[in-house]
């Protein structure tokens, strides 16, 4: 069972906010002993999802949590927006699909960078994406 | 060379060298691309080296900006080589499914400039 050691709530209203979320994730990953590859994977995922929340969701927020399960450290990030939501989830997760300015690799690509990936969305109800990555030992 | 954006573009022989050291968000990215094109027009440079050693992460948005910059430079007759990609950035981009195959790449600035010299020696544009 993982315990939440510490948590930070951050708004996503501007491009600078997305950068701040990514920097916080990077700082935490480095403090917790993530290697360069795991750190880049986590921060790139945070960047993609933060940008999605801003561009597709019209803004929202991120919750960053430092987790511990006794032997390993984890970082969980939850992105929430109040945008139009995703109507065709299967298509979006299959990749190659883009509604605005990304390449359509955003969600499908991000899923490959983290150990845990959950998404909840419905038309008109916004989108919530949760990712989690753990140290190897 | 005068620029509107915050990213310096230097002339090295008959080529241009630019080092990206700050986060490329919308406003900065557009100014950067326009600065590159104006510099190519003003100098007649046939080659452009974009150095991303300073970027700790490159998401698909930034990757697209870099690839687009190379395409724009190509329309002006300049060949772009992207250099300095960190190991973890390369691994992350490929794992995400992003193929950076529209832009030529090299390990570092020296290799990039050498590749441009070799192209010039072969008489290619």
The full set of domain ranges for chain A reads 3-134
Query: Cα separations (Å) of A40 from A35, B12, B89, B93, B124?
Result: 9, 31, 7, 10, 37
Q: What is the DSSP letter of B13?
A: T
Distance from CA of B49 to the nearest CA of A (A): 24
Interatomic CA distance for residues B19 and B23, integer angstroms: 12
The mean pLDDT value for A105-134 works out to 91
For position A3, what pLDDT does the model report?
93
Work out the angle between the directed axes of helices A36-55 and B60-75 (0-180°, nearest 10). 80
Three-class SS state of B90: helix
The verdict on residue B2 lying in a domain is: no
The mean pLDDT value for B52-80 works out to 94
For position A99, what pLDDT does the model report?
46
Interatomic CA distance for residues B71 and B5, integer angstroms: 19
Residue B109's domain comprises 9-121
Contact between residue B65 and residue B30 where contact means Cβ atoms under 8 Å apart: no
Whether residue B86 and residue A19 make contact (CB cut-off 8 A), yes or no, is no
For position B103, what pLDDT does the model report?
93
The verdict on residue B113 lying in a domain is: yes
Whether residue B61 and residue A15 make contact (CB cut-off 8 A), yes or no, is no
How many CA atoms are closer than 13 Å to the CA of B4, on its beta-carbon side? 12
Contact between residue B69 and residue B38 where contact means Cβ atoms under 8 Å apart: no
For position B124, what pLDDT does the model report?
66
Minimal-distance CA residue of chain B relative to A36: B88
Interatomic CA distance for residues A88 and A93, integer angstroms: 9
As a CATH number, domain A3-134 is 3.30.565.10
The verdict on residue B3 lying in a domain is: no
Dihedral sign of CA atoms B78, B84, B90, B93 in order: negative
CATH number of the domain residue B110 falls in: 3.30.750.24
Interface test with A, best of B24, B54, B61, B86 (most A CBs within 10 A): B61
For position B111, what pLDDT does the model report?
98
Closest CA to A56 of A114, A129, A133: A129
Q: What is the DSSP letter of B101?
A: T
The verdict on residue B73 lying in a domain is: yes
Chain center to CA of A77: 5
ipTM of the complex: 0.88
Whether residue B96 and residue A110 make contact (CB cut-off 8 A), yes or no, is yes
Interatomic CA distance for residues A69 and A62, integer angstroms: 22
Q: Which two tokens stand for residue B103?
A: 């832009």
Q: For residue range A62-104, list pLDDT tens digits in order.
A: 999 999 998 899 999 999 999 888 877 877 777 655 544 444 5
Interface test with A, best of B30, B55, B57, B90 (most A CBs within 10 A): B57
Q: What is the DSSP letter of A105?
A: -
Whether residue B97 and residue A95 make contact (CB cut-off 8 A), yes or no, is yes
The verdict on residue B85 lying in a domain is: yes
Number of A–B residue contacts, CB under 8 Å? 69
Interatomic CA distance for residues A61 and A57, integer angstroms: 10
The verdict on residue B22 lying in a domain is: yes
């Amino acid at each position: 069972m993982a315990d939440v050691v510490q948590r930070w709530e951050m708004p996503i209203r501007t491009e600078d906010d997305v950068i701040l979320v990514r920097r916080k994730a990077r700082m935490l990953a480095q403090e917790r002993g993530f290697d360069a590859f795991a750190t880049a994977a986590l921060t790139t995922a945070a960047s993609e999802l933060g940008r999605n929340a801003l561009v597709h969701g019209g803004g929202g927020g991120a919750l960053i949590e430092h987790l511990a399960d006794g032997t390993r450290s984890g970082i969980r990030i939850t992105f929430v927006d109040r945008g139009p939501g995703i109507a065709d989830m299967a298509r979006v997760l299959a990749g190659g699909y883009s509604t605005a300015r990304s390449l359509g690799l955003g969600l499908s690509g991000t899923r490959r960078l983290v150990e845990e990936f959950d998404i909840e969305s419905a038309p008109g109800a916004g989108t919530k994406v949760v990712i989690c990555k753990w140290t190897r030992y | 060379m005068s620029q509107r954006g915050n990213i310096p573009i230097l002339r090295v022989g008959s080529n241009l060298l630019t080092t990206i050291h700050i986060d490329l968000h919308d406003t900065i990215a557009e100014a950067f691309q326009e600065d590159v094109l104006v510099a190519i027009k003003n100098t007649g440079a046939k080659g452009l080296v974009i150095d991303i050693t300073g970027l700790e992460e490159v998401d698909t948005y930034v990757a697209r900006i870099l690839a687009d910059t190379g395409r724009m430079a190509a329309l002006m007759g300049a060949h772009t080589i992207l250099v300095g990609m960190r190991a973890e950035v390369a691994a992350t981009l490929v794992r995400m499914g992003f193929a950076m195959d529209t832009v030529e790449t090299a390990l570092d600035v020296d290799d990039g400039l050498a590749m441009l010299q070799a192209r010039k020696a072969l008489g290619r544009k």
